[in-house]
A and B are shown apart, each in its own frame.
Chain A
Amino acid sequence: MDSTHNTESRRVDLDPQQPLALREVPSGAVALGGIAVLLLLIAWILIYLLIYLPRGMIG
């Protein structure tokens, strides 16, 4: 049994009606998620560098 046959049969077993678009890696979703997370990270770093650090020490 080769891996090709194994993968193909498992997919069919799971959902034979699965749309073709969902069988591929959803690169658009990855791009959208990646951009959203990257924007959040950039916002966090900007607040850290431009607001939190200049406001001085506490403790």
Chain B
Amino acid sequence: MAATEHEVVRSELRWAAAVSVFVVIIFGLTLFAALALHRNPPSNLERIDPKTLHLTGEFTEPNLGTRVEQNGQVTTRIVATQFAFIPPCVVVPADREVTLRLASPDMIHGILVSGTNVNTMVVPGYVSQVHTVFRTTGNLLMPCHEFCGLGHSQMLARVHVVPAQDFRPDAEGRVSCEAQ
């Protein structure tokens, strides 16, 4: 009985040590992913006027969809609006870095691309941007994952990932689902 209090303290310290080891392991793996594998939450602070994004600038209708920029960078621009993505289907190449840029003119939306780590909110007034590399080809679903109104469940787009040799931009660098 004499050692009871001592034993309690000792077991508390052991428990604290074990939990500390777990925290260090999880923190270490998170740091490893962030620093060595360059996996970070999408963060892009870029303002855009939601009232005029469809009239001027990069989110006008002719600019939407996938385009290969002058420097070879593949950029996909999508407008998320109640209750659709414009365009509803985008083509991206496999095994090549793709930049997804999204904006909303009305209210908060969100996207994820099934089977990938792509996941971001689309907030009016800001441009959401995600860099990623799609490793598997095929059709991936891209639903809105932020409740945005009665038609939220119908808000769905398709990401068509094609092999690099089938990714053929036109003269202006655009690639669309219809042309594939």
Give me the interface of A with B, judged by CB distance under 8 Å.
3-4, 7-8, 10-11, 23-25, 30, 33-34, 37, 41, 44-45, 48, 52-53, 55-59
Is B22 part of the contact surface with A, judged by Cβ < 8 Å?
yes
CA distance A10 to B148 in the complex (A): 61
Chain B CB within 10 Å, residue with most, of A8, A33, A37, A58: A58
Q: Is chain B's binding surface mostly helix, strand, loop or mixed?
A: mixed
Given A58-B118, A58-B131, A59-B39: A30 in contact with B15 (beta carbons within 8 A): yes
Q: Is the CB of A23 within 8 A of B1?
A: yes
Among B4-12, B49-57, B77-85, B150-158, the stretch in contact with A: B4-12
Given A55-B116, A58-B117: A48 in contact with B15 (beta carbons within 8 A): no
User: Considering only CB atoms and an 8 Å cut-off, how many residues of chain B contact the other chain?
Assistant: 33
Q: Is the CB of A56 within 8 A of B4?
A: no
Given A25-B7, A25-B8: A59 in contact with B40 (beta carbons within 8 A): yes
